[in-house]
Amino acid sequence: MFRRPSGRSGMALILALATIVLAGGLILLMQARASGAIRLEQMELIRERLRIAAAEAVREAMWQLAADENLEADHLGEDWAQPLETLDEDGISTLALIEDAGRFFHWNNVVVSNSATRTPRDILHELMIFCGDLQPAGKVAALVDFMDADDEGTYEADFYRRQDPPWRPPNRQLWAPEELTRVHGFSREMLAPRPRERTAGLHDGDLARATVLAPVELEAPVPINVNTAGRDVLMGLAGLEQERAVDYVLSRRRLEPFESLDIFGASPELAAALQGLVSTRSEYFRIRARASLGNQSRSALVWVQRDSAGDVHVVQWVEAEG
């Protein structure tokens, strides 16, 4: 026969049940937390291993670059220009790419030239026209005022004082590409890469892919490497009226890289004008490396400088997720 429990024992039973449920819940929670902590720890461990693997890949790439025996010419057929891939026994894969910065126009070049004839400003002017900006003179002048040390020009402190909010141009070389968007006339849109599907027309250049900002304070312009620069950069370098010469350079270097600048010997005037602005080799290189395992990856972007003896030095090392 079932007896109805008294109020007190009923309450005790409920409390006991509640305690059991609570304890069970706590154990589950602790287990969940423990497995969560282990998972986090494992992820952190993999993250660290990927960081090291990406750094190793950069170091391998630097060795590859330092092993380049031909310091007179740098071209895309050389070993350093080939992607470096590895896969270790734990399944970590790495990919490293070296890109010579001589193929680009360097933004800081515009304030370090003392050439009397063709200057980096002229090159940028032509390059911007080639990239579809038909009246870039004001922008180039604004960029020069933004960076040159003096306060004499149309786009100096007086000009920016009238802006909302007012501010002063830094009067120094650029430290980051984002600074360009503060220069009068510049915008994010003009600095964004254009769609790849383009014709080889006269105004179809891509300013974003033709320019670079090396994280170094320049004392002289970084020359453009005639072996690696794209059509856009070569058009800016030689001038828009030199389209046939540029096409000649592009087809000739497919057969054999330029070991010297004799090519400009046929035009002594052009050779003199481009003195110090063009080269057959590169000094600065950008290394991108990524290490991956499953859906986790880490990457490194490293700027290096190769000196005249062929030794490679790190200029900047930036690590990132993904």
Q: Do the Cβ atoms of 107 and 99 come closer than 8 Å?
A: no
The residue among 74 and 206 lying less far from Ca ion, judged by its C-beta, is: 74
> In whole angstroms, what is the distance from residue 225 CA to residue 245 CA?
15
Residues in the chain: 322
Which listed range, 20-28, 145-153, 209-217, 245-253, lies at the site for Ca ion (CB under 5 A)?
145-153
Q: Is 83 exposed, middle or buried (0-12, 13-18, 19+ CB in 10 A)?
A: exposed
Q: Are strands 224-225 and 278-279 parallel, antiparallel or unpaired?
A: parallel
Nearest residue (beta carbon) to Ca ion: 70
The answer for 189, left when phi > 0, alpha when psi is -120 to 50, beta otherwise, is alpha
User: What's the closest the beta carbon of residue 65 comes to Ca ion, in angstroms?
Assistant: 9
Residue 281 Cβ vs Ca ion, minimum distance, rounded to whole Å? 6
Query: Among 57, 61, 62, 74, which residue interacts with Ca ion (rule: CB under 5 A)?
Result: 74
Of 32-40, 64-72, 103-111, 255-263, the window that binds Ca ion (rule: CB under 5 A) is 64-72
Q: Which is nearer to Ca ion, 152 or 241 (CB)?
A: 152
**Least Å from the CB of residue 139 to Ca ion:** 15
Which residues sit opposite 285 in a β-bridge?
100, 304
* Shortest separation between residue 170's beta carbon and Ca ion, angstroms: 9
Residue 314: in which H helix or E strand, if any?
strand 312-321
One-letter amino acid identity for 207?
Answer: L
283 binds Ca ion (CB under 5 A): no
Q: Dump the DSSP string for 108-166.
A: GGGGS---SSS-HHHHHHHHHHHTT-S--HHHHHHHHHHHSSS--STTSHHHHHTSSS-
For position 157 contacting Ca ion by CB under 5 A, the verdict is no
> Binding to Ca ion by residue 159, rule CB under 5 A?
no
Shortest CB 197 distance to Ca ion, Å: 32
Q: Token pair for residue 157?
A: 């402190």
The reply to whether 70 sits near Ca ion by the rule CB under 5 A is yes
Contacts of residue 205, defined as CB under 8 A and 6 or more positions apart, other chains included, come to: 127, 130, 131, 132, 231, 232, 235, 236
Nearer to Ca ion, 74 or 179 (CB): 74
Query: What is the C-alpha to C-alpha distance for residues 211 and 230, in angstroms, rounded to an integer?
Result: 11
Binding mask 167-206 for Ca ion (x = CB under 5 A): ----x-----------------------------------
List the beta bridge partners of residue 318.
Answer: 301
Q: Which is nearer to Ca ion, 148 or 243 (CB)?
A: 148
Question: Minimum distance between the CB of residue 257 and Ca ion, rounded to whole angstroms?
Answer: 9
Nearer to Ca ion, 52 or 71 (CB): 71
Residue 171 to residues 42, 51, 138: CA-CA distances in angstroms? Answer: 48, 37, 17
Q: Is 295 helix (H, G, I), strand (E, B) or coil?
A: coil
Decide if residue 68 touches Ca ion (CB under 5 A): yes
One symbol per residue from 95 to 134: x for binding Ca ion (CB under 5 A), - otherwise; what is it? ----------------------------------------
The distance of closest approach from Cβ of residue 151 to Ca ion in the complex, given in angstroms and rounded to an integer, is: 6
CA distance 71 to 116: 29
How far apart are CB 70 and Ca ion at their closest, in Å? 4
Question: Which window, 54-62, 93-101, 139-147, 174-182, contacts Ca ion (CB under 5 A)?
Answer: 139-147
- Selected binder of Ca ion within 145, 206, 232, 283 (CB under 5 A): 145
Q: How many chain residues are in contact with Ca ion, going by CB under 5 A?
A: 6
Q: Give contact residues for Ca ion (rule: CB under 5 A).
A: 68, 70, 74, 145, 148, 171
